[in-house]
Amino acid sequence: MSHLPLEQRIGKVEITITDPVTAGSYQDFKLIYTAGYFGIDDTGSIKICFRRATDMGEPQFTEPAEANYAHIWVTNGAKLQTRYDLKDNVRPWGKVLYIKIIDGFLQEGDQIIAHFGDRAQGSPGIRMQTFCEETFAFKVLVDPFATYTYTEVPDCPTIKVVAGPAEVWRAQIPTLRKTNESFRLLVKAEDRWGNPTPEEHKVFQCSSNLKIEGLPESIALNSQSKGVAVIEGLVPIEKGDAFITLKDKTGLVIKTNPMRVVEKATLGHYWGDLHGQSEETIGTNSVEDYFSFARDTAGLDFASHQANDFQITKEFWTKLQETTKRFLKEGIFVTFPGYEWSGNTGLGGDHNVFYYEEGETIHRSSHALIADLSDLNTDCNHIEDLFEVLKNKKALIFAHVGGRYADLPFHSPRLQRSIEIHSAWGTFEWLLQEAFQKGYRLGIVCNSDEHKGRPGTSYPGASLFGSYGGLTCLLAESLTRSSIWNALMKRHHYGTTGARIYLDVCVSFSKPALPFQEEPHLGQAPAEKITEAIMGDIIKTTEREVTLKIELIGSAPIEKIEIRNGVELLETFRPYRESDLGHRIRVIWSGASFRGRGRAVNWDGKAQVKGNDILSATPINFFNPEKRLILKKPDSLFWQYITTGGLAGFDCLLKEPDAGTLLVETPLVKFSKPVSEIGLEETIFETGGVARRMRLNRLPDNNPHTQIKISRRIPLRKSKENPLYVCVYQEDGHCAWSSPIYVLCEDS
């Protein structure tokens, strides 16, 4: 009789693939479970579990000629019941291939074989996850006694997922520098899924429109550089708007984002991503990998790690703080310790918590996935409990929409300085509008909530994340923890959907106005009077009108700028006129089904232009390469895509500018419209949900406008808050939002 622990007699698992696999590739392999001493009794089962973050193809069991077919059988002929469930186990191992014995049983030595991507009947295989991971794991759990109590098989197999060949090259520089102030150029090769990838050999010839000292004549990417080249110590010599271009033998390959070069600047531009997590909770790769990627591969200036609090053990909280302290190198890279307070929606919903420095206590929303209850007394189950315990701490809290969404009836003006309105989950302007309606004064941040190990360059892959992750640009005096924190406290920042756009928004007063460092009702003394306010400022004035100044340098042509006063749209500015319009028609869909989980909207559809030809079609925000826009000439388009709050769509170039009728059909919108009636102003098709709509308009054939400088006189609402801000739409689908300038108009 053996008295070994159950886990040593539960069986073993092996896998027939051992070499690294390419991200997003199709594979054919077997996972073999061999039963241990107890076997598996009738109605017992096994679970093959995968991390929730993975976007590996979902195994299917009925179409052997289609992708992701999985053939499951038992060597002794027992009958099985199989299913694949996205949420059938304790997180982070929620995705489960469930195999149940329904007629028969297993004895020691019998085997269950899961043949993933079985190609015998024509399947191309199963698509592996689209992002890189050192240890992609197959966690196998066994219920040998048919009690629905599972034991993990020891030494479960892992495989390494690596990047594919280079298909796209990226180059980035800062968006603001002073003359003679050094900066760096980052050049990167990416595969079709956005993974940085080693390039065997690629040489670019470099040039700039402005004089830049230290810019080499050429840059080489190779396997030693791992697909990323960083050129340090570049110095702009003359003021202006700089771009660096990289060419190869075929011509222009890459153009960087814009960089404004000035002689003097009190505040600099610093770019970061404050939200994501690693494999210690629900993400991918280690926390060290997370910060290394943010600094070295994404080229961020600052970052934070935001793990779900109910998964953060005491040991990981200690490790996380050690990591943020180790990666903090002022002048190079700034970090903040923090966590995602993940309370149930009715208790406050998701919020990001940031501490100025290490050594603070984590106040979890619960211990839901933590066995050690020794610090249960530090929990804050309700967001108002968190507000209370942090009210005298050097901490910040940002509302967030993820799986859960932040519930805004609960608010602390002392702690809550900003609100996250874009991440890889989508765009959530409705959260900002709700904050305006409640009278909150909040800045705007955009982050990634990255789960795939790529903070700062967060592609959605093939999962239900529907958008590219966002970035926040802070206006700070220097790249130090104190200056970056001060910028966050003052809401001196703007957010984008991931593009590095130069944006300057300010309000001018004809006579000195009263600025407040804090919310006026908090009792803080006001600062000296000013005649110009920047993003995030709170101002009192007796003027009835103010001047709003907007300066923008896009990373792509500008489609439009919306000038807003809170929830009110004051003006839509376009840099072109009706007479500039040409043969190009734009169709955009956006929004979500509802606020919570499962918000994805299916926009699969088709379009036809009867009586005209489509010469070309360009997809917008089609980040998933498997979801394609297909042109079937002469007159038809077909596509597959979803949104989870963000936007996507296409431009089509017509042979004749005004001939024919455009017909569009999707599950939610179906219309026909004469091409001659499609003009500058948008036709909007509302479909309910949360900002769920389709819009249609016409653009110039070539829009050269990447730089905008305008000013507007804005009438103020008397005795009411005036949150003045802009939303920028680029033609490539990227957006940017300035933090509002809160102007209160009072009697003298």
Sort 62 into a burial class: Cβ within 10 Å, 0-12 / 13-18 / 19+: exposed
Torsion of CA 455, 461, 463, 465, to 10 degrees: 50
205: Cα separation from own chain's centroid = 32
In a domain, 715, yes or no: yes
The pLDDT value given to residue 525:
66
The answer on 649 and 507 residing in a single domain is no
What tokens appear for 32 in the block? 């073999």
334: Cα separation from own chain's centroid = 20
The answer on 251 and 224 residing in a single domain is yes
The sheet with strand 111-116 has its strands ordered as 11-15, 29-35, 111-116, 70-74
Mean pLDDT per block of 10 residues along the chain (748 residues) reads 76 95 98 97 97 95 97 96 94 95 96 98 97 96 96 96 94 97 96 91 93 94 83 96 94 94 96 96 95 97 97 97 98 98 95 98 97 97 98 96 90 96 95 96 97 95 87 98 98 98 97 86 76 96 96 98 97 97 98 89 96 97 94 96 95 97 97 97 95 97 97 92 97 98 86
The answer on 376 and 243 residing in a single domain is no
How far apart CA 185 and CA 245 sit, in angstroms, is 11
The answer on 409 and 310 residing in a single domain is yes
Beta strands in 237-313 (DSSP E): 240-242, 244-248, 251-255, 259-262, 268-273, 302-304
Q: Enumerate residues 6+ apart whose C-beta is below 8 A from 523.
A: none
Residue span of the structural domain in which 391 resides = 269-498
In a domain, 104, yes or no: yes
In a domain, 704, yes or no: no
Check: CB of residue 25 under 8 Å from CB of residue 127: yes
How far apart CA 233 and CA 229 sit, in angstroms, is 13
Tell me the residue type at 712.
R
- The domain that holds 256 is classified in CATH as 2.60.40.1930
CA distances from 8 to 14, 35, 146, 294, 725 (A): 15, 11, 18, 40, 62
In a domain, 1, yes or no: no
How far apart CA 279 and CA 30 sit, in angstroms, is 25
Check: CB of residue 28 under 8 Å from CB of residue 117: yes
Select from 464, 498, 532 the last residue of a domain.
498
In a domain, 311, yes or no: yes
The answer on 443 and 360 residing in a single domain is yes
Whether omega before 409 lies within 30 degrees of 0, making that bond cis, reads: no
In a domain, 280, yes or no: yes
Q: Are strands 735-738 and 721-730 parallel, antiparallel or unpaired?
A: antiparallel
- Nearest-CA neighbor of 575 among 589, 561, 594? 561
The pLDDT value given to residue 1:
47
CA distances from 269 to 108, 495, 728 (A): 64, 12, 18
Query: 3-state class of 6 per DSSP?
Result: helix
Chain position carrying tokens 């066994």: 142
The answer on 665 and 557 residing in a single domain is no
DSSP 443-486: EEEE---B-SS-TTS---TTSS--SPPPEEEEEESSSSHHHHHH
Tell me the residue type at 665.
E
Helix H segments across 350-503? Answer: 383-390, 429-437, 481-489
Question: Which residues in 653-682 are b (16+ Cβ under 10 Å) and which e?
Answer: bbeebeebebbbebebbeeeeebeebebeb
Between CA 564 and CA 570, with CA 567 as vertex, the angle to 5 degrees is: 35
The answer on 649 and 591 residing in a single domain is yes
Tell me the residue type at 216.
P
The pLDDT value given to residue 362:
98
387 backbone φψ class: left, alpha, beta (φ>0; ψ -120 to 50): alpha
How far apart CA 693 and CA 585 sit, in angstroms, is 17
Whether omega before 634 lies within 30 degrees of 0, making that bond cis, reads: yes
Backbone angles phi, psi at 384, to 5 degrees: -70, -30
- The domain that holds 567 is classified in CATH as 2.60.40.10
Which helix (H) or strand (E) is 700 found in, with range? none
Q: Total domain count for the chain?
A: 5
Which helix (H) or strand (E) is 585 found in, with range? strand 584-592
The sheet with strand 151-152 has its strands ordered as 79-85, 95-103, 45-50, 139-143, 151-152
The sheet with strand 629-632 has its strands ordered as 629-632, 636-639, 605-610, 661-665, 670-674
How far apart CA 703 and CA 705 sit, in angstroms, is 6
The predicted model scores a pTM of 0.95
The answer on 400 and 384 residing in a single domain is yes
- Nearest-CA neighbor of 574 among 441, 729, 454? 729
- The domain that holds 131 is classified in CATH as 2.60.40
Q: Are strands 605-610 and 636-639 parallel, antiparallel or unpaired?
A: antiparallel
Check: CB of residue 583 under 8 Å from CB of residue 675: no
DSSP 491-525: T-EEEESS---EEEEEEEEEEEEEEESS-GGGTPP
The answer on 257 and 278 residing in a single domain is no
- Nearest-CA neighbor of 342 among 442, 263, 275, 245? 275
- Nearest-CA neighbor of 425 among 530, 276, 314? 276
Helix H segments across 228-313? Answer: 287-292
DSSP for residue 525: P
Check: CB of residue 187 under 8 Å from CB of residue 171: yes
The answer on 610 and 524 residing in a single domain is no
The pLDDT value given to residue 527:
78
The answer on 287 and 207 residing in a single domain is no
Neighbours of 634 (CB within 10 A): 11
How far apart CA 183 and CA 186 sit, in angstroms, is 10
The answer on 278 and 232 residing in a single domain is no
The pLDDT value given to residue 523:
67
What tokens appear for 532 in the block? 């110009």
Q: How many CA atoms lie within 13 A of 565 on its CB side?
A: 19
- The domain that holds 415 is classified in CATH as 3.20.20.140
- Nearest-CA neighbor of 537 among 571, 502, 513, 565? 513
How far apart CA 334 and CA 357 sit, in angstroms, is 11
